[in-house]
Protein backbone atom coordinates (compact mmCIF):
# COMPACT_ATOMS: atom_id res chain seq x y z
CA UNK A 1 0.00 0.00 0.00
CA UNK A 2 2.88 2.37 0.77
CA UNK A 3 4.27 1.80 -2.73
CA UNK A 4 0.91 2.61 -4.27
CA UNK A 5 0.65 5.88 -2.33
CA UNK A 6 4.22 6.76 -3.29
CA UNK A 7 3.53 6.17 -6.99
CA UNK A 8 0.34 8.25 -6.91
CA UNK A 9 2.00 11.17 -5.12
CA UNK A 10 5.10 11.03 -7.33
CA UNK A 11 2.94 10.92 -10.45
CA UNK A 12 0.93 13.91 -9.29
CA UNK A 13 4.07 15.93 -8.52
CA UNK A 14 5.64 15.12 -11.89
CA UNK A 15 2.39 16.06 -13.60
CA UNK A 16 2.43 19.34 -11.69
CA UNK A 17 5.75 20.47 -13.20
CA UNK A 18 4.67 23.53 -15.25
CA UNK A 19 6.89 23.13 -18.30
CA UNK A 20 4.97 25.81 -20.21
CA UNK A 21 5.76 28.40 -17.53
CA UNK A 22 9.39 27.30 -17.27
CA UNK A 23 10.03 27.27 -21.02
CA UNK A 24 8.38 30.63 -21.71
CA UNK A 25 10.43 32.23 -18.97
CA UNK A 26 13.58 30.77 -20.48
CA UNK A 27 12.67 31.91 -24.01
CA UNK A 28 10.98 35.27 -23.42
CA UNK A 29 11.21 35.98 -19.67
CA UNK A 30 7.43 36.27 -19.48
CA UNK A 31 4.66 34.48 -17.60
CA UNK A 32 2.57 32.63 -20.20
CA UNK A 33 -0.43 32.95 -17.86
CA UNK A 34 -0.58 36.66 -18.63
CA UNK A 35 -0.67 36.40 -22.43
CA UNK A 36 -2.89 34.97 -25.14
CA UNK A 37 -5.53 32.67 -23.70
CA UNK A 38 -3.62 32.80 -20.39
CA UNK A 39 -3.66 29.00 -20.34
CA UNK A 40 -0.32 27.39 -19.41
CA UNK A 41 -0.42 24.86 -22.22
CA UNK A 42 1.54 24.04 -25.35
CA UNK A 43 -0.97 25.67 -27.72
CA UNK A 44 -0.79 29.03 -25.96
CA UNK A 45 3.01 28.81 -25.86
CA UNK A 46 2.97 28.09 -29.61
CA UNK A 47 0.87 31.20 -30.28
CA UNK A 48 2.63 33.56 -27.87
CA UNK A 49 6.30 32.49 -27.96
CA UNK A 50 6.56 30.51 -31.19
CA UNK A 51 6.63 26.99 -32.63
CA UNK A 52 10.00 25.97 -31.15
CA UNK A 53 8.98 26.71 -27.58
CA UNK A 54 5.52 25.24 -28.21
CA UNK A 55 6.95 21.97 -29.54
CA UNK A 56 9.37 21.70 -26.61
CA UNK A 57 6.51 22.12 -24.14
CA UNK A 58 4.40 19.63 -26.07
CA UNK A 59 7.15 16.99 -26.00
CA UNK A 60 7.88 17.53 -22.30
CA UNK A 61 4.19 17.30 -21.37
CA UNK A 62 3.75 14.11 -23.40
CA UNK A 63 6.88 12.70 -21.75
CA UNK A 64 5.41 13.33 -18.29
CA UNK A 65 2.45 11.11 -19.00
CA UNK A 66 4.40 8.40 -20.79
CA UNK A 67 7.23 8.08 -18.26
CA UNK A 68 4.90 7.93 -15.28
CA UNK A 69 2.67 5.21 -16.72
CA UNK A 70 5.37 3.17 -18.45
CA UNK A 71 8.00 3.21 -15.72
CA UNK A 72 6.38 4.14 -12.41
CA UNK A 73 3.78 1.37 -12.50
CA UNK A 74 6.62 -1.16 -12.91
CA UNK A 75 7.97 0.05 -9.59
CA UNK A 76 4.98 -1.56 -7.91
CA UNK A 77 6.00 -4.94 -9.27
CA UNK A 78 3.69 -7.94 -8.97
CA UNK A 79 3.57 -8.09 -5.19
CA UNK A 80 0.99 -5.35 -4.68
CA UNK A 81 -2.67 -5.88 -3.95
CA UNK A 82 -3.77 -4.37 -7.26
CA UNK A 83 -3.33 -5.57 -10.84
CA UNK A 84 -0.78 -3.92 -13.13
CA UNK A 85 -3.44 -2.17 -15.22
CA UNK A 86 -4.86 -0.56 -12.08
CA UNK A 87 -1.39 0.65 -11.11
CA UNK A 88 -0.92 2.15 -14.57
CA UNK A 89 -4.31 3.87 -14.52
CA UNK A 90 -3.79 5.25 -11.02
CA UNK A 91 -0.45 6.70 -12.10
CA UNK A 92 -1.97 8.02 -15.32
CA UNK A 93 -4.91 9.72 -13.65
CA UNK A 94 -2.59 11.21 -11.00
CA UNK A 95 -0.19 12.70 -13.54
CA UNK A 96 -3.09 14.22 -15.54
CA UNK A 97 -4.64 15.70 -12.40
CA UNK A 98 -1.24 17.09 -11.46
CA UNK A 99 -0.98 18.76 -14.85
CA UNK A 100 -4.51 20.19 -14.75
CA UNK A 101 -4.40 21.17 -11.06
CA UNK A 102 -0.72 21.92 -10.60
CA UNK A 103 0.40 22.43 -7.02
CA UNK A 104 3.26 24.56 -8.38
CA UNK A 105 0.91 26.91 -10.26
CA UNK A 106 -1.80 27.58 -7.67
CA UNK A 107 -3.73 24.53 -8.93
CA UNK A 108 -4.29 26.15 -12.34
CA UNK A 109 -2.54 24.12 -15.01
CA UNK A 110 -2.98 23.02 -18.60
CA UNK A 111 -5.95 21.28 -20.14
CA UNK A 112 -4.55 17.75 -20.05
CA UNK A 113 -4.37 16.88 -23.75
CA UNK A 114 -0.60 16.49 -24.18
CA UNK A 115 0.00 14.72 -20.86
CA UNK A 116 -3.06 12.55 -21.56
CA UNK A 117 -1.57 11.62 -24.93
CA UNK A 118 1.56 10.46 -23.11
CA UNK A 119 -0.51 8.36 -20.73
CA UNK A 120 -2.40 6.63 -23.54
CA UNK A 121 0.77 6.25 -25.61
CA UNK A 122 1.99 3.97 -22.83
CA UNK A 123 -1.39 2.24 -22.35
CA UNK A 124 -2.98 1.94 -25.80
CA UNK A 125 -0.50 3.16 -28.44
CA UNK A 126 -2.53 2.04 -31.48
CA UNK A 127 -5.68 3.84 -30.38
CA UNK A 128 -3.59 6.88 -29.46
CA UNK A 129 -2.04 6.98 -32.93
CA UNK A 130 -5.49 6.77 -34.52
CA UNK A 131 -6.59 9.57 -32.20
CA UNK A 132 -3.65 11.66 -33.39
CA UNK A 133 -4.79 11.08 -36.99
CA UNK A 134 -8.29 12.31 -36.07
CA UNK A 135 -6.71 15.29 -34.31
CA UNK A 136 -4.65 16.11 -37.40
CA UNK A 137 -7.63 15.84 -39.77
CA UNK A 138 -9.85 18.11 -37.66
CA UNK A 139 -7.03 20.59 -37.10
CA UNK A 140 -6.21 20.75 -40.82
CA UNK A 141 -9.88 21.23 -41.69
CA UNK A 142 -10.80 23.82 -39.03
CA UNK A 143 -7.51 25.20 -37.59
CA UNK A 144 -9.08 24.90 -34.12
CA UNK A 145 -6.82 23.02 -31.70
CA UNK A 146 -9.57 22.80 -29.10
CA UNK A 147 -12.04 21.20 -31.51
CA UNK A 148 -9.37 18.77 -32.70
CA UNK A 149 -8.56 17.86 -29.09
CA UNK A 150 -12.19 17.27 -28.16
CA UNK A 151 -12.78 15.21 -31.32
CA UNK A 152 -9.73 13.02 -30.68
CA UNK A 153 -10.79 12.45 -27.07
CA UNK A 154 -14.27 11.34 -28.10
CA UNK A 155 -12.84 9.13 -30.84
CA UNK A 156 -10.50 7.30 -28.48
CA UNK A 157 -13.25 6.69 -25.95
CA UNK A 158 -15.64 5.39 -28.62
CA UNK A 159 -12.94 3.26 -30.25
CA UNK A 160 -12.35 1.40 -26.97
CA UNK A 161 -16.09 0.78 -26.61
CA UNK A 162 -16.30 -0.54 -30.17
CA UNK A 163 -13.32 -2.84 -29.60
CA UNK A 164 -14.78 -4.30 -26.43
CA UNK A 165 -18.49 -4.54 -27.17
CA UNK A 166 -18.62 -4.97 -30.96
CA UNK A 167 -15.29 -6.59 -31.80
CA UNK A 168 -15.30 -8.58 -28.53
CA UNK A 169 -11.70 -7.78 -27.67
CA UNK A 170 -10.47 -8.52 -24.17
CA UNK A 171 -10.16 -4.97 -22.88
CA UNK A 172 -10.50 -4.30 -19.15
CA UNK A 173 -13.66 -2.38 -18.30
CA UNK A 174 -11.68 -0.15 -15.93
CA UNK A 175 -9.66 1.11 -18.92
CA UNK A 176 -12.81 2.14 -20.78
CA UNK A 177 -14.32 3.73 -17.67
CA UNK A 178 -11.12 5.69 -17.00
CA UNK A 179 -10.98 6.87 -20.61
CA UNK A 180 -14.62 8.01 -20.36
CA UNK A 181 -13.98 9.91 -17.12
CA UNK A 182 -10.87 11.56 -18.58
CA UNK A 183 -12.88 12.56 -21.65
CA UNK A 184 -15.35 14.31 -19.34
CA UNK A 185 -12.38 16.03 -17.69
CA UNK A 186 -11.18 17.20 -21.12
CA UNK A 187 -14.60 18.72 -21.82
CA UNK A 188 -14.47 20.40 -18.40
CA UNK A 189 -11.04 21.93 -19.01
CA UNK A 190 -12.20 23.06 -22.48
CA UNK A 191 -15.47 24.57 -21.29
CA UNK A 192 -14.27 28.09 -22.17
CA UNK A 193 -13.14 26.91 -25.60
CA UNK A 194 -16.50 25.25 -26.21
CA UNK A 195 -18.28 28.51 -25.42
CA UNK A 196 -15.97 30.43 -27.77
CA UNK A 197 -16.42 27.84 -30.51
CA UNK A 198 -20.17 28.21 -30.15
CA UNK A 199 -19.89 32.01 -30.29
CA UNK A 200 -17.40 31.98 -33.17
CA UNK A 201 -14.68 33.73 -31.16
CA UNK A 202 -12.24 30.84 -30.66
CA UNK A 203 -8.76 31.75 -31.99
CA UNK A 204 -7.23 29.51 -34.63
CA UNK A 205 -3.83 27.85 -34.38
CA UNK A 206 -2.21 30.29 -36.81
CA UNK A 207 -3.36 33.40 -34.95
CA UNK A 208 -0.20 34.95 -33.52
CA UNK A 209 -0.34 36.88 -30.24
CA UNK A 210 1.63 40.10 -30.08
CA UNK A 211 3.60 40.67 -26.88
pLDDT tens by residue, 117-167: 999 999 999 999 999 999 999 999 999 999 999 999 999 999 999 999 999
Rounded CA separation 58/112 (Å) = 11
Over residues 191-205, mean pLDDT:
94
pTM of the model: 0.94
Over residues 35-45, mean pLDDT:
92
SS3 assignment for 54-100: HHHHHHHHHHHHHHHHHHHHHHCCCCCCCCHHHHHHHHHHHHHHHHH
Which long-range contacts (C-beta less than 8 Å, at least 24 apart) are formed by 183-188?
183/153, 183/154, 183/156, 183/157, 185/96, 185/100, 185/112, 186/111, 186/112, 186/113, 186/116, 186/149, 186/150, 186/153, 187/150, 187/153
pLDDT of 210 strictly over 70: no
Domain ranges of the chain: 2-199
Average pLDDT value over all residues in the chain:
92
CA distances from residue 149 to 123, 124, 126 in whole angstroms, order as listed: 18, 17, 17
Q: Check if the beta carbon of residue 96 is closer than 8 Å to that of residue 116.
A: yes
pLDDT of 19 strictly over 90: yes
Res 2: pLDDT: 79
pLDDT of 78 strictly over 70: no
Over residues 72-89, mean pLDDT:
71
pLDDT band at residue 188 under the 50/70/90 scheme:
very high
Amino acid sequence: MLKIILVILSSYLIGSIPFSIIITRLFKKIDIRQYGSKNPGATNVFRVVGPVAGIIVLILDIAKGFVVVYFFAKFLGTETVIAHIYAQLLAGVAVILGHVFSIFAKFKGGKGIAVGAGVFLALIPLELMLGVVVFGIILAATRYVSLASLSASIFMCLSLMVEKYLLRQNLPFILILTCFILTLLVFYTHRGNIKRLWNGTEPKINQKVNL
